[in-house]
Amino acid sequence: MPLCFADADSDAIPIDVITPDGLAAALDRLTPTERRWVESQHFTGALGQHVLLGKADGGLGRVLAGFGTPKARARGRFLIAGLAAKLPKGTYRIASGLTGEALSEAALAWLLAGYRYSRYSGPAPDMPALVAPEGIDADRIEVIANGEALTRELINTPASDMGPAELEEAMRALANAHDANLDVIIGDDLIPANFPMIHAVGRASTRAPRLLDMRWGTEGPQLTLVGKGVCFDTGGLNLKPGNSMGMMKKDMGGAATVLGLAHMIMALEMPLRLRVLIPAVENSIAGNAFRPQDILTSRKGLTVEINNTDAEGRLVLADALTLSDDDKPNLVISMATLTGAARVAVGPDLAPFFTDNDDHAAALAVAAAKVADPVWRLPFHEPYEDLIEPGIADLDNAPSGGMAGSITAALFLRRFVESPYIHFDIYGWQPSAKPARPKGGVGMGARAVLEALPKLLNL
């Protein structure tokens, strides 16, 4: 079900968002009876508090919601979503206390709080509805919320129902919805089409690997999005232990995130040409699996020594990134659940990114802060280039030593693209429930990119 605002309703229950500094003024606006009730509940405007005020007929008449101090708010985001989860079913409106970007964030938070993954468990109970607040771009917020919901839905679906073919189906449905074109190369046809590393990674699975190539738009600068679509990662012959394999349905989180972002771009009819490339594979084990110490020749012609078959994402991305250069896009952005090193560095909440362009980095930082989608720049540190040069081949897919794993992976990818390039090494998973983010698949970086695109592409 789409995430959307309720129709305008004169009977919608008002919500007053109150900080501790604004508590006295808020109490002065209440009747003496209401004031005594609020005081009896020890309501101080602290973050997470709320009080329900009744009407004479016994119905719910108003909600007071604590918004806390700036210091308290700095420790979270989407805070109003926590309120949405506590209120009785009904239709509400934010009547006072929020303006500008804070109001837009609250509105998006409310919609995102309505997402539930229910494919196997039946529909979840309806969340309280929100009338779109005045002064926000409601249509844009609904588009963003549903792009994020698409990302979550794809990541949350287990590999039994989200293999390369099912990922293709999801991308085709998106293409059809926006009158985009989708071309697909499948299985052994990848070899004559010169996608040797996509084929090598995916050939051991009973589910054929494929390269998905979607195009939309005819005018404006070209943006190419490349998403890692490893629908399940056993680690290959370097088999993952069970506790590491358990979450590997999310290893197509990069593909899911770029598809969510693509939905946002197309639904908002941004003035650009969009291309989305997804190498969709399952990294499995069979007699024809690629092996440690194999040397693969990439689409670009660079040779790659395989020192760990569990470092497969950079291999399939490399062939797709090489393809992305063919039509000289104005910007290439890759997104991938690529390295555990990125999670060790910044944890699950931040989306680390790499770029050589300081203006691009600045634009992303400003956009991320504005839309509550945190990102963090990591360096393409060139002194580490020799770590990915094994001597026996041009490149090493898994340098020994374990140092700077996210950086060496990013440097590896940069070897395959000549166009202006930004790489995101995302996690794609919410380890525990937070406001507007239930445990499970989650988008990272997409809203920041969307907000930054006018500056990234000079739109």
As a whole number of angstroms, the distance between CA 333 and CA 17 comes to 38
pLDDT at 453: 98
Q: Which of 34, 38, 18 is nearest to 26 (CA)?
A: 18
Residues 160 and 259 grouped into a single domain: yes
C-alpha 359/C-alpha 374 separation (Å) is: 17
Of the candidates 129, 158, 175, which is a domain's last residue?
Answer: 129
* Predicted local distance difference test score (pLDDT) of residue 339: 97
pLDDT, tens digit, for every residue of 399-419?
A: 988 899 999 999 999 999 999
Q: Tell me, what's the pLDDT at 174?
A: 98
For residue range 352-384, list pLDDT tens digits in order. 999 999 999 999 999 999 999 999 999 999 999
Q: Is 361 left (phi over 0), alpha (psi -120 to 50) or beta?
A: alpha
Using DSSP, state whether 328 is helix, strand or coil.
coil
Contacts of 40 (CB under 8 A, 6+ apart): none
**Token pair belonging to 324:** 């992305």
- Tokens encoding 189: 């046809």
Please tell me whether residues 122 and 147 are part of one structural domain: no
240 belongs to the catalytic site: yes
What is the phi/psi pair of residue 379, to 5°? Answer: -95, 140
Residue 81 has pLDDT above 90, yes or no: yes
pLDDT at 100 over 90: yes
Distance CA 198, CA 109 (A): 38
Distance CA 454, CA 444 (A): 19
211 with 301, same domain: the answer is yes
In a domain, 252, yes or no: yes
Q: Is residue 347 part of a domain?
A: yes
Q: Is the pLDDT of residue 123 over 90?
A: no
Residues 219 and 315 grouped into a single domain: yes
> pLDDT higher for 432 or 124?
432
In a domain, 256, yes or no: yes
| 104 and 236 co-located in one domain | no
Strand 375-378 relative to strand 351-355, pairing: parallel
| pLDDT tops 90 at residue 211 | yes
Find all residues with CB under 8 Å of 457, minimum gap 6, and list them. Answer: 220, 221, 223, 272, 330, 331
Are residues 363 and 232 both part of a single domain?
A: yes
Produce one character per residue of 329-367: b if its CB has 16 or more CB atoms within 10 Å, e if not.
bbbbbbbbbbbebbbebbebebbbbbbeeeebbebbbeb
Note the helical H segments in 178-312: 196-202, 242-245, 253-267
- The answer, yes or no, to whether residue 1 has pLDDT greater than 80, is no
Average pLDDT of the chain, as a whole number: 97
State residue 56's pLDDT score. 86
Say whether both 390 and 257 belong to one domain: yes
For the residues 123-149, what does the mean pLDDT come to?
94
Q: Quick one: pLDDT at residue 122?
A: 82
Can you point out the beta strands (E) in 401-448?
421-425, 429-430, 440-441
pLDDT at 188: 98
Please check whether residue 5 lies inside any domain of the structure. Answer: no
Same domain, 252 and 279: yes
Tell whether 1 is covered by a domain: no
pLDDT at 222: 98
Average pLDDT for 69-90? 93
Higher pLDDT, 58 or 210: 210
Tell me: do 272 and 399 sit in the same domain: yes
Q: Any bridge partners for residue 91, and if so which?
A: 129
Residue 336 falls within a domain, yes or no? yes
CATH of the domain at 353: 3.40.630.10
Residues 64 and 39 placed together within one structural domain of the fold: yes
Of 94, 129, 164, the position where a domain reaches its end is 129
**Structure tokens of 112?**
């995102």
Question: Does residue 135 form part of some domain?
Answer: no
Write the pLDDT tens digit of every residue in 23-57: 999 999 999 999 999 999 999 999 999 999 999 89
Of 250, 275, 300, 314, the active-site residue reads 314
Decide: helix, strand or coil at residue 312: coil
Q: What is the pLDDT of residue 17?
A: 97
Structural domain harbouring 348: 142-456
Active site residue 36: no
Burial class of residue 297 (count of CB atoms within 10 Å of its CB; 0-12, 13-18, 19+): middle
Q: Which of 35, 116, 140, 240 is catalytic?
A: 240
Residue whose entry in the numeric block shows the structure tokens 């009896």:
40
pLDDT of 401: 87
Question: What's at 413, amino acid-wise?
Answer: L
In the block, tokens 């918004």 appear at: 67
Q: For the chain, what is the domain count?
A: 2
Structure tokens at 272: 């650009």
Q: What share of the chain has pLDDT > 90, as a percent?
A: 96
Q: Do 88 and 200 share a structural domain?
A: no
70: left (phi over 0), alpha (psi -120 to 50) or beta: alpha
Tell me which DSSP letter residue 309 carries: T
Amino acid 33 reads: T
**Which DSSP symbol is given to 77?**
S
Q: Look at residue 318 and tell me if it is in a domain.
A: yes
Q: Could you identify the residue written with the tokens 């985009």?
A: 180
Report angle CA 368, 348, 201 to the nearest 5 degrees: 105
149-173: average pLDDT = 98
| Residue 220 Cα to chain centre, angstroms | 25
Strand partners, 183: 213
- Burial readout 5-32 (b: 16 or more C-beta within 10 A, e: otherwise): beeeeeebbebbbbbbeebeebbeebee
Which CATH number characterizes residue 62's domain? 3.40.220.10
SS3 116: coil
pLDDT-above-70 percentage for the chain:
100
pLDDT in tens, 318-360: 999 999 999 999 999 999 999 999 999 999 999 999 999 999 9
Distance CA 445, CA 339 (A): 16
* Residue ending a domain, choose from 75, 104, 129: 129
Clarify whether residues 285 and 328 are in a common domain: yes
Q: Which pLDDT belongs to residue 99?
A: 95
- Classify the C-alpha dihedral 234-440-186-308 as positive or negative: negative
